[in-house]
Amino acid sequence: MNKEILEFSKVNINKHLNLLILLMCISLVSCNSKKAEPEFSDAIRINQIGFYPNSVKQFVVADVQVETFAVVNEKDEVVYTGKLINKGIWNISGEQVFLGDFSSVISEGKYYILIDNKLKSYSFQIKKEIYTDALNAAIKSFYFQRASMPIEEQYGGVYSRKAGMLDDNCLFHPSSGHSVGSLNSPGGWFDAGDYGKYVVNASFSVGQMLHLVEEYPNLIADGQLNIPESGNGESDLMNELKYELNWILTMQDTDGGVYHKLTAKNFSGFIMPEAYNLQRMIIGKGTAATLNFAAVLAQAVRLESAKNPEWSQKALIAAEKAWEWAVKNPKLAYKNPEDVVTGPYDDILFSDDFYWAATELYLTTRNEIYLNYLLENKEEYIHQLTNSWKFFVRNNAFHSLIENKENLNEELKLYVTKGQIKLADEILEKISKNPYKIALETFEWGSNSDILNQAMILCFAHKLSNDEKYLIGAEQINDYIFGKNATRYSFLTGYGSKQVKFPHHRISGADGVENPIPGFIVGGPNKDKQDSNEVKYLSSFPAKAYVDVEASYASNEVCLNWNAPAIYVLGYLQQHRK
């Protein structure tokens, strides 16, 4: 090769090499200049279902020092920017809490929160009727708890199962007052994660949901839930409640007293209902069960008498007979016999049970006997936390009186009006001071029912006053249930981005289906952690004392009286925010 050609080749090679280096540099600069994809951060706690367009919209950032945030739509466009407010340290969770508010964003769509230009929240929606699916699922969870019948595929889908607990030959335990014989007591719902049926909790829970039926009888339409009774011309919610009420009716003794519970002596293992092989028994009899029986049946009669007069007449006779028995036996407390370890639902104070029974019987019959009892035996207007079946009974009475205040004399009307507003204002005051914008500072067994009962109190204050502040308070509490909490979980199975997967629920644990039955509220954080040593909690802070494992009955069990207030609150918000 001659010298000229060689030099020409070197020049071209150098040119191409320089060009290649330049292109690589441009490419590298271009790559580096691209905006990094934001990463999910569990420091951002938000309602994972979403918000109504006209709702207050808030979220929490924990332990991340930031000053501003952005709301980003599904096209990755920033639609709103705002400042985070430092709310200080919440001692109950051990976190430094920052609060963000984007209530002015009202356009329907899917969004996420972006902080520090690199951390994002779970996605959520803004839309009308945002809670329709969650509400339907929360009600239908009771269908999946039905005893004595199969759950057919056309109604239950992958959660279909065979019948279990026919309860057609339940032996009397000596504590029932009978030494021989048996009782036919089919139907009703399993109370919780176990297979027991308990009159006290059944009556209380049905009573809470009957408030929603009384206020908005058409909110849950016929056919809305796809249950066997759908298409009979009556609300599916009322149909479901009647399945439990019909079982409750079977639990009355011939003298008017009511048996306490239908369980075996011990809890079963995590098996399906059809595999259950323990002897079912009628256990106990007492004042609490009898009065709660009288109250809920009288309440149901008020709603059913026009449509089902024959059933209503039977139920009212049973309710009044129960009242008469309780008046003669005013202090008969239930206690688990030595050979029984299933749920006790025990109580020794019955003034609130008498008050609820008298309330419902008066509102249904207008008999002055019951009115005189109410006027002579006023209950203190308070909300006691923990064991709502025991302590929220008086509030069931207050709420029925509020619903029917046009039928009250001035003294009683003034009492419940002033009492409810005062109680609700106390809850709002606590919300205003709490970094998470909730009113609960004590996390015990079933804390989620405590917080939902607070929301229920606010709903009734809104009903009385039509003051927007009470509805806002109920929404702020509801946000907690769906993820704006220190655990980051959405506490309704099947809903939210961070879902509960392993509730303490025998059917969900034994059915072979990957995900639990949807629609159950789990108990929530519980500082007392009464589980066995095999359950390991990840935090010592009360607001974080929750673990999503099947064995944790203290924090992760399902129960009728935890779903009941959720259904009322979701239904009330649907009615007033749609």
Task: pLDDT band for 4, please (50, 70, 90 cuts).
Answer: very low
- Which residues is 408 bridged to in the sheet? none
pLDDT computed for residue 36 by the predictor = 73
The fraction of the chain above a pLDDT of 90, given in percent, is 93
Helical spans, DSSP H, in 62-123: none
Position with higher pLDDT, 20 vs 192: 192
pLDDT of residue 299: 98
Which residue in the list 95, 167, 191, 194 is annotated as catalytic? Answer: 194
pLDDT score recorded for residue 37: 86
Does the pLDDT value for residue 11 go beyond 90? Answer: no
Helix and strand counts by DSSP (H, E) for the chain: 17, 16
Q: How confident is the model at residue 27 (pLDDT cuts 50, 70, 90)?
A: very low
pLDDT of 7 strictly over 80: no
pLDDT confidence bin for 13, thresholds 50/70/90? very low
557 is catalytic: yes
Active-site residue among 462, 504, 505, 576?
Answer: 504
Report the C-alpha gap between 508 and 489 in whole angstroms: 18
Distance (Å, whole) CA 391 – CA 444: 14
Residue-wise burial string across 128-142, b where 16 or more C-beta atoms lie within 10 A, e elsewhere:
eebbeebbbbbbbbb
Instruction: State phi, psi for 21 to the nearest 5 degrees.
Output: -65, -40
Supply the pLDDT for residue 225.
98
* pLDDT at residue number 578: 78
List, for residues 486-518, the tens digit of each pLDDT value: 999 999 999 999 999 999 999 999 999 999 999
pLDDT given for residue 198 in this prediction = 98
Q: Which of 234, 346, 425, 548 is catalytic?
A: 548
Stretch 429-438: mean pLDDT, rounded?
A: 98
What would the pLDDT profile of 355-398 be if each residue is shown by its tens digit?
999 999 999 999 999 999 999 999 999 999 999 999 999 999 99
Q: What is the pLDDT of residues 395-410, one digit of tens each?
A: 999 999 999 999 999 9
Give one word for 94, left, alpha or beta, with left for phi > 0 and alpha for psi -120 to 50.
Answer: left
Do 142 and 189 touch, CB atoms closer than 8 A?
Answer: yes
User: Average per-residue pLDDT in the chain?
Assistant: 94
pLDDT of residue 300: 98
CB 100 within 8 A of CB 69: yes
Nearest-CA neighbor of 55 among 402, 482, 494, 386? Answer: 482
Q: Is residue 8 predicted with pLDDT exceeding 60?
A: no
> If you ran DSSP here, which 8-state letter would residue 182 be given?
E
Question: In the numeric block, which tokens belong to residue 395?
Answer: 């509030």
Residue 108 pLDDT exceeds 50: yes
Q: DSSP label at 148?
A: S
Torsion angle of C-alpha atoms 212, 215, 217, 221, degrees rounded to 10: -50
Which of the four pLDDT bands, split at 50, 70 and 90, describes residue 318? very high
Q: pLDDT of 162-215, one tens digit each? A: 999 999 999 999 999 999 999 999 999 999 999 999 999 999 999 999 999 999
Mean pLDDT (whole number) for 2-23: 43
- Which own/partner contact pairs does 376-379 have at CB distance under 8 Å and 24+ positions apart? 377/351, 378/415, 379/351, 379/352, 379/355
How far from the centroid of its chain's Cα atoms is residue 387's Cα?
Answer: 14
3-state SS record for 342-355: CCCCCCCCCHHHHH
User: Which residues lie closer than 8 Å to 338 by C-beta, 6 or more apart?
Assistant: none
Q: Domains plus CATH for the chain?
A: 39-126 (2.60.40.10), 132-577 (1.50.10.10)
Active-site residue flag, 504:
yes
Do residues 393 and 353 touch, judged by C-beta distance below 8 A? yes
Q: What is the pLDDT of residue 35?
A: 58
| Catalytic entry in 95, 479, 550, 557 | 557
Distance of CA 354 to the CA centre of its chain: 26
Tell me whether strands 44-46 and 58-62 are parallel, antiparallel or unpaired.
antiparallel
Q: Which helix (H) or strand (E) holds 278?
A: none
pLDDT tens, 250-297?
Answer: 999 999 999 999 999 999 999 999 999 999 999 999 999 999 999 999
